[in-house]
């Protein structure tokens, strides 16, 4: 046996280390408990006084500070006890109502006082438990992190390379984004062979910003870039950086870039960058301060690496206008790529991609499915294919048919059918009248989307029934007339209830919300109000707030104009329904009888009760078509609830 033994023989120190750390962890918990015990011992040295004693002591000037709980009060006296610390007393009291003068006395005689909510024994027990659990968890993370300092472990816990997570994604998985893919090819080329680009001295973007609404494939594109180039993918969401503690977000940014540099060439993807990238504030509150620090760190990090080091940072946002200008300066996110919701052809391609592994019936034309899903983004289309496949499987079919897609579409729009729900007969009639009103108004007004289906079958989401429209082709431009007719259609439900049942119900909130939203945009964004002129007021349509300093009076005028447009649309719906009262009755009865009717049945009823005097064209103040509102931003197409 030799005198020495090498440190590396037998057990390496690796497995031992966590054991030591666990020992430390248990030690720390014991210390914590001891401290807690001492604290509660101290608490027991608080003297118990009556309220009278306390009040007299206060008036005598003995009391220094007071904490008023709901059931008791704690006070610190000016005199010290044996061991030199200030004397503490506790008295019961029953709140400020019992002694209204107390506040005055406190103002006069005590240095300081505050009102507190009592923490019950259970709550404080839970709090202690939470502290212990957190402590153990923290120590656990430290031992996992290989004995790094606690702060480092904390900041390291989130950023992870997620390249190993799933199957490799390529551009073949991305459909309908041809231009975006073309632009990103260059990035792929650079990531594949950074040396070649460096040698040629080409200017490679450091940061690429993907701009587009949710579900349009921004994350997918970023993954595809890393997949095509075969480089690691580091993904973080802007909200991951936002922690309670100031400085953690900034540390995570540093950490992320350090990791990326070690693995270059690679791709960093920051989702929802607007969460950190908002314009920096001047007067900083706590949360803003944290965001500013994180953003500053991100700017420093992006400037810090060399353009030829083989790192590309991609980021996604739906609101590029809110980003701090420093973030989109040259050398940072200076390349912007739009990721728009898909058009008809794009939707068909996305459906094709997602049904690659789904057996489709030969007669099924995905173009038709694409036509009925105007306004859907890629994520919703992927969901639709999945729903349709599930529905077909449930019915025991071995191919997915068009009917499955239609049913899946309705489900996604309206929540799953609730056929089982029993409806009161009067409610059922009201819903039939309401839906007949929507359908009749929409079908009678020229230029709107044709009605595809009307139903009074109850659905989830508290919807009584709905009228579904099927846009035949993609529409990017909406004329004033089109929008007014759309408003009339939306208000047709309540208008019919008023005419046929003499009252309206509370089931039409979403109709009114949508109608108000459209009317507001017509006034504030599309310049369609003759009174307010062709001005874009840029006022947030949801809240009616904001805009760069429009006067109270302008805001009020906008409200009045919105009102006027809605009144006009309601009057249009009313007059139409009055003229076609016979058709309304016939349609209501048919709905009560059949529950669901399709376009052909609807038009059969309308043809047998023709309009005596068709409406004149253009009902409202004139205006040119709005500036290409995307079908998605005008999210009122497709289905009409209630
Ligand atoms: P975003 O990041 O823009 O919110 P995602 O990339 O997360 O959207 O999209 C969610 C899912 O929707 C994707 O994983 C994909 O299945 C599907 N998807 C979205 N857009 C497309 C597209 N253009 N082509 C194919 N699939 C898409
Ligand atoms: Mg995403
Ligand atoms: Zn309705």
Phi, psi of 63 (to 5 degrees): -90, 130
Give per-residue burial for 269-286: e unless 16+ CB within 10 Å, then b.
bbbbbbbbbbebeeeeee
Asked whether 215 lines ligand 1 (CB < 6 A), one says yes
CA distance 490 to 634: 14
Is 313 or 73 the better-scoring residue by pLDDT?
A: 313
Q: Is the pLDDT score of 162 beyond 50?
A: no
Is 575 or 109 the better-scoring residue by pLDDT?
A: 575
Mean per-residue pLDDT over the chain, rounded? 78
Between the CA of 311 and the centroid of ligand 1 the distance, in Å, is 24
Between the CA of 237 and the centroid of ligand 2 the distance, in Å, is 9
SS3 of 165-218: the string is: CCCCCCHHHCCCCHHHHHHHHHHHHHHHCHHHHHHHCCCCCCEEEEECCCCCCH
Question: Can you give the pLDDT at residue 471?
Answer: 65
DSSP run (H or E) holding 234: strand 233-237
Fold for the domain defined by 46-115:
3.30.720
Question: Can you give the pLDDT at residue 159?
Answer: 45
Q: CA geometry: angle at 161 spanning 160 and 163, to 5°?
A: 145
With bands split at pLDDT 50, 70 and 90, how would you rate the model's confidence at 222?
very high
Mean pLDDT over 6-19 rounds to 42
What is the β-pairing status of strands 466-469 and 639-641?
A: antiparallel
Is 184 or 340 the better-scoring residue by pLDDT?
A: 184
Phi-psi region of 623 (alpha: psi -120 to 50; beta: other; left: phi over 0): beta
Question: Can you give the pLDDT at residue 614?
Answer: 65
| 265 prior amide bond cis, ω within 30 | yes
CA-nearest residue for atom 10, ligand 1, is 379
- 435 is an active site residue: yes
CATH 3.40.630.30: does it fit domain 160-338?
Answer: no
With bands split at pLDDT 50, 70 and 90, how would you rate the model's confidence at 633?
very low
Residue 162 neighbours by CB under 8 Å, 6+ apart: 233, 234, 235
Q: Convert the pLDDT of each residue in 464-509 to its tens digit.
A: 677 777 765 666 678 888 899 999 999 999 999 999 999 988 878 8
Catalytic residue, from 435, 481, 497, 561: name it: 435
Domain boundaries, the chain: 2-29+123-151, 46-115, 160-338, 344-414, 425-641
Q: Convert the pLDDT of each residue in 242-251 to its tens digit.
A: 665 667 788 8
Residue 473 CB coordination number (10 Å):
9
Ligand 1 mutation pick, 169, 171, 215, 272, max ligand atoms within 8 A of CB: 215
Q: Is the pLDDT score of 146 beyond 80?
A: no
> How many Å is the Cα radius of gyration of the chain?
34
Asked whether 353 lines ligand 1 (CB < 6 A), one says yes
Question: Can you give the pLDDT at residue 582?
Answer: 94
204 contacts 196 by C-beta, under 8 angstroms: no
Is 172 or 557 the better-scoring residue by pLDDT?
A: 172
Hey, which residues does 270 pair with through a beta bridge?
236, 315
344-414: CATH class: mainly alpha
Q: Is the pLDDT score of 349 beyond 70?
A: yes
Alpha-carbon distances of 21 from 35, 153, 268, 353, 630, rounded to whole Å: 21, 14, 34, 51, 58
Q: Which ligand is nearest to the CA of 385?
A: 1
User: What would the CATH number be for the domain defined by 425-641?
Assistant: 1.20.58.760
Is 205 or 393 the better-scoring residue by pLDDT?
A: 393
Question: Can you give the pLDDT at residue 120?
Answer: 53
Q: Is the pLDDT score of 365 beyond 90?
A: yes
With bands split at pLDDT 50, 70 and 90, how would you rate the model's confidence at 637?
very low
| Residues written for the chain | 642
271 CA: nearest ligand 1 atom: 2
Asked whether 382 lines ligand 1 (CB < 6 A), one says yes
Residue 426 CB coordination number (10 Å):
9
Phi-psi region of 43 (alpha: psi -120 to 50; beta: other; left: phi over 0): alpha
Residue with tokens 């040119």: 624
Give per-residue burial for 59-70: e unless 16+ CB within 10 Å, then b.
eeebbbbbebbe
Q: Is the pLDDT score of 430 beyond 70?
A: yes
Question: Can you give the pLDDT at residue 574?
Answer: 96
The closest of 345, 358, 318, 323 to 216, measured between CA atoms, is 318
| 199 prior amide bond cis, ω within 30 | no
Indicate the DSSP class of residue 215: T
Portion of the chain with pLDDT greater than 70, in percent: 72
Question: Can you give the pLDDT at residue 199?
Answer: 74
Q: Which tokens in the block code for residue 370?
A: 């694409």
Hey, which residues does 567 pair with through a beta bridge?
none
Q: Is the pLDDT score of 580 beyond 90?
A: yes
CA distance 457 to 277: 46
SS3 of 70-83: the string is: CCEEEEEEEEECCC
Q: Is the pLDDT score of 3 beyond 60?
A: no
Give the chain's end-to-end CA distance (angstroms, integer).
Answer: 89
Q: Convert the pLDDT of each residue in 531-565 to its tens digit.
A: 777 777 766 544 555 555 677 788 888 889 999 99
Domains 160-338 and 344-414 share a fold: no
Helix, strand or coil, per DSSP, at residue 607: helix
With bands split at pLDDT 50, 70 and 90, how would you rate the model's confidence at 65?
confident
CA-nearest residue for atom 12, ligand 1, is 379
DSSP run (H or E) holding 541: none
């Amino acid at each position: 046996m030799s005198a020495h033994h090498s440190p590396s023989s037998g057990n390496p120190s690796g497995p031992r280390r966590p054991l030591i750390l666990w020992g430390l962890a248990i030690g720390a918990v014991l210390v914590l408990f001891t401290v807690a015990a001492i604290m509660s011992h101290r608490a027991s040295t608080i003297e118990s006084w009556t309220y009278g004693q306390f009040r007299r002591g206060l008036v005598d000037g003995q009391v220094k500070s007071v904490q008023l709980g709901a059931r008791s009060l704690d006070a610190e006296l000016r005199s010290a006890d044996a061991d030199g610390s200030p004397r503490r007393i506790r008295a019961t009291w029953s709140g400020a109502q019992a002694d209204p003068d107390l506040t005055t006395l406190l103002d006069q005689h005590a240095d300081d006082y505050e009102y507190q909510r009592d923490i019950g024994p259970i709550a404080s027990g839970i709090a202690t438990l939470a502290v212990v659990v957190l402590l153990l968890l923290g120590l656990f993370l430290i031992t996992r992190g290989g004995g790094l300092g606690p702060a480092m472990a904390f900041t390291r816990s989130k950023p992870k390379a997620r390249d190993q997570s799933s199957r490799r994604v390529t551009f073949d998985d991305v459909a309908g984004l041809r231009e975006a893919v073309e632009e990103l090819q260059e990035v792929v080329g650079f990531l594949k062979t950074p040396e070649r680009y460096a040698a040629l001295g080409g200017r490679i973007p450091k940061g690429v910003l993907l701009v587009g609404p949710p579900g349009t494939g921004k994350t997918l594109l970023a993954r595809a870039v890393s997949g095509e180039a075969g480089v690691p993918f580091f993904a973080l969401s802007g909200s991951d950086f936002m922690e309670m503690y100031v400085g953690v977000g900034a540390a995570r940014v540093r950490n992320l870039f350090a990791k990326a540099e070690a693995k270059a060439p690679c791709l960093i993807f920051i989702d929802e960058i607007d969460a950190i990238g908002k314009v920096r504030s001047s007067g900083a509150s706590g949360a803003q301060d944290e965001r500013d620090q994180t953003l500053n760190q991100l700017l420093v990090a992006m400037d810090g690496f060399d353009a030829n080091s083989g790192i590309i940072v991609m980021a996604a946002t739906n609101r590029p206008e809110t980003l701090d200008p420093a973030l989109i300066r040259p050398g940072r996110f200076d390349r912007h790529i739009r990721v728009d919701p898909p058009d008809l052809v794009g939707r068909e391609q996305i459906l094709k991609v997602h049904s690659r592994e789904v057996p489709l019936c030969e007669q099924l034309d995905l173009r038709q499915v694409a036509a009925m899903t105007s306004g859907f983004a890629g994520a919703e289309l992927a969901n639709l294919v999945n729903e349709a496949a599930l529905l077909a499987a449930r019915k025991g079919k071995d191919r997915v048919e068009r009917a499955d897609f239609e049913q899946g579409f309705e489900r996604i729009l309206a929540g799953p059918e609730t056929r089982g729900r029993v409806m009161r007969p009067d409610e059922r009639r009201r819903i039939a009248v309401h839906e007949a009103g929507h359908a009749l108004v929409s079908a009678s007004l020229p230029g709107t989307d044709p009605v595809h289906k009307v139903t009074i079958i109850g659905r989830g989401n508290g919807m009584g029934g709905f009228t579904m429209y099927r846009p035949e082709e993609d529409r990017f431009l909406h004329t004033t007339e089109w929008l007014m007719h759309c408003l009339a259609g939306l208000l047709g439900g309540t208008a019919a209830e008023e005419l046929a049942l003499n009252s309206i119900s509370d089931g039409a909130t979403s109709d009114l919300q949508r109608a108000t939203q459209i009317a507001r945009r017509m006034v504030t964004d599309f310049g369609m109000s003759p009174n307010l002129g062709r001005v874009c007021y840029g006022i947030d349509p949801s809240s009616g707030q904001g805009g760069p300093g429009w006067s109270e009076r302008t805001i009020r005028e906008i409200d009045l104009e919105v009102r006027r447009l809605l009144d006009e649309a309601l009057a249009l719906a009313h007059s139409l329904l009055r003229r076609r009262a016979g058709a309304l009755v016939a349609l209501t009865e048919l709905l009560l009888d059949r529950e669901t009717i399709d376009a052909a049945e609807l038009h059969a009823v309308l043809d047998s009760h023709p309009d005596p005097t068709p409406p004149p064209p253009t009902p409202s103040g004139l205006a040119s078509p709005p500036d290409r509102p995307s079908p998605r931003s005008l999210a009122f197409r497709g289905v009409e609830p209630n």
